[in-house]
Amino acid sequence: MTDLASLPGLGPKSARWLNESGIHSLAQLQAIGAIRAYAMVSAQRPVSLNLLYALVGALEGRRWQDVAKQDRASLIMALDGYQQLTQMAKEDD
């Protein structure tokens, strides 16, 4: 099992937040994906979009700053879409 804090762009604080959200390994992070992992963490505490960029960077082996520059708009749209879908699912229950 890979320590999440050892992934590029993630540190002890990010790893702790992921662990507190139920994500304990790289395999779990890969299965969940960056968008859902970010949503899980942000549901528990206020976090900046830099965490989303760091999660994408960690999964893709890229610097979070590069992710922020190159993929900011598409990630924000994907996050918005995910949040809308989860809100709709809650309303249907």
- Alpha carbons 35 and 76: distance in angstroms, whole number: 9
- Alpha carbons 52 and 89: distance in angstroms, whole number: 22
The pLDDT tens digits of the residues spanning 20-66 come to: 999 999 999 999 999 999 999 999 999 999 999 999 999 999 999 99
Radius of gyration (C-alpha) of the chain in whole angstroms: 13
What DSSP state is assigned to residue 8?
A: T
pTM passes above 0.75: yes
Predicted confidence at residue 12, as pLDDT, reads: 94
Q: Which amino acid is at 78?
A: A
- In this predicted model, which residue has the larger pLDDT, 41 or 89? 41
Predicted confidence at residue 1, as pLDDT, reads: 46
